[in-house]
């Protein structure tokens, strides 16, 4: 039986919400599944992903094939990196403690980047919503002296 890790759509029209599930490849998209591994909400910024790493890693080791989108999610959450490190442990390249140390260092850096990008997004959204009064620049009026007719100009010096 071919097993896939894929998204199962929930939510109303134009408001998607997904379950990350392990299902038989022949089952319909929103049909029967074997196990729910996590959730994915693309509407939040950044997208909200809740994933059980152990279950996902277990299914990957059993041979479940993730779809392209689920592969990106697993990569983002570090499951594929953890699988890579554990394969190195099995090949004898390094021990379990070194693998977990590498993963923890990566995870802390990754979380810091997510926090930074999230705060930058919040700040830009606040800046867009902030009230900035528009001040119109008023130029001072220049009094224009209209040239008077030649007869008026000639009459004035004569009277003086």
Contacts of 57 (CB under 8 A, 6+ apart): 79, 82, 83, 86
Domain residue limits, the chain: 3-126
Question: What's the pLDDT at 128?
Answer: 85
pLDDT the model gives residue 31: 87
**Band of pLDDT at residue 61, cut at 50, 70 and 90:** very high
* Pairwise CA distance, residues 29 & 7, whole Å: 8
Condensed to tens digits (0 to 9), the pLDDT of residues 86-137 reads 999 999 998 999 999 999 999 999 999 989 988 998 899 888 887 767 777 7
Query: How high is the pLDDT of residue 89?
Result: 92
Domain 3-126: which CATH number of 3.30.1320.10, 3.40.630.10, 2.160.10.10, 3.20.20.480: 3.30.1320.10
> By C-alpha distance, which of 79, 29, 81 is closest to 49?
79
Write out pLDDT tens, residues 4-54: 999 999 999 999 999 999 999 998 988 899 999 999 999 987 889 999 999
In this predicted model, what pLDDT tens digit does every residue of 135-151 receive, in sequence order?
777 777 777 666 665 55
Distance of CA 38 to the CA centre of its chain: 18
Long-range contacts of range 54-63, CB-CB < 8 Å, 24 or more positions apart?
56/5, 56/20, 57/82, 57/83, 57/86, 59/3, 59/5, 59/22, 59/35, 60/5, 62/3, 63/3
Q: Model pTM?
A: 0.74
Query: Which pLDDT band holds residue 155 (cuts at 50, 70, 90)?
Result: low
* Closest by Cα among 100, 88, 10 to 53: 100
């Amino acid at each position: 039986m071919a097993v896939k890790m894929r998204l199962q759509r929930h939510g109303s029209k134009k408001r998607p919400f997904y379950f990350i599930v392990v299902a038989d490849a022949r089952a319909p998209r929103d049909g029967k599944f074997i196990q729910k591994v996590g959730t994915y909400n693309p509407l939040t910024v950044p997208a909200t992903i809740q994933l059980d790493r152990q279950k996902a890693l277990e299914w990957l080791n059993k041979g479940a094939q993730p779809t392209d989108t689920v592969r990106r999610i697993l990569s983002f959450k570090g499951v594929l990196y953890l699988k890579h490190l554990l394969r190195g442990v099995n090949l004898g390249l390094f021990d379990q403690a070194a693998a977990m140390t590498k993963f923890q260092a990566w995870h802390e850096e990754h979380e810091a980047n997510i926090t930074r990008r999230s705060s930058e997004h919040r700040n830009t959204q606040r800046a867009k919503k902030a009230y900035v009064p528009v001040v119109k620049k008023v130029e001072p009026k220049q009094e224009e002296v209209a040239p008077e007719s030649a007869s008026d100009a000639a009459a004035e010096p004569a009277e003086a």
